[in-house]
Structure 1
Amino acid sequence: MGRKAGGLYINSKKFGAIQKPCMKEMLQLLSCMALNQNNDDRCVRQKELLSTCMDSQSKQSRKPFGSINYHLQRLSRGRK
């Protein structure tokens, strides 16, 4: 098991760390809860902002084609 030597490969986990769409809203909610001893009643505004951000992210569709490594393998097969 593993990759063949000389094959093309991109670590997609490095690129996944670039985009964190709701991180700001989540940090605001967590800091509000920390300041208010985990009392949800005082952090309603931050909770609403986080839920709207997460809802908007789930509605966005992902690209229908496969991963970048799949396409790199296809290209290398065509070269041979």
Structure 2
Amino acid sequence: MGRKGGSLFINPKKFAAGSKPCMKEMLSFLNCLSLNQMHDDKCVHQKELLSACMDAQSGKRKKPFGSINYHLQRLSRGRR
């Protein structure tokens, strides 16, 4: 199921094979920062790419809440 670290519950299925949408852009920005001693004025291009990727991800909506499985489970609970 899950692992506990102290009082924190970690669900390994959630982090197993999920997509990491802006990972390349973030890594290139962090590499640029490390090469330039944390001066972000030299990493403008990477910063713009990361911002554009993050803005594109915020526009995507998750699946609507009312799926067929949710409603079937809800109805079966009411019958008990």
TM-score normalised according to structure 2 size: 0.65
In structure 2, relative to structure 1, the CA distance for the partners of 1:37 and 1:66 (3 Å cut) is farther
For the aligned residue pairs, the C-alpha RMSD in angstroms reads: 3.2
**Which protein is richer in strand relative to its size?**
2
Distance 1:62 1:44 in 2: 30
What displacement does 1:74 show? 1.3
Mind listing any 5+ residue stretches in structure 2 that lack a counterpart?
A: 1-11
Aligned-residue sequence identity (percent) comes to 55
SS in 1 for 2:64: coil
List structure 1 runs of 4+ shifted beyond 6 angstroms: none
Aligned length, in residue pairs: 66
Q: How does 1:23-62 map to 2 (within 5 A)?
A: 23-62=23-62
Q: 1:16-60, CA deviations, whole angstroms, 9 ceiling, x for partnerless residues?
A: x42100000000000000000000110000000000000000001
Distance 1:21 1:33 in 2: 20
TM-score normalised according to structure 1 size: 0.65
Q: How does 1:2-17 map to 2 (within 5 A)?
A: 12-14=13-15, 17=17
SS in 2 for 1:20: coil
Report the residue type matching 1:13 in the other structure: K
Mind listing any 5+ residue stretches in structure 1 that lack a counterpart?
A: 1-10
Distance 1:21 1:47 in 2: 15
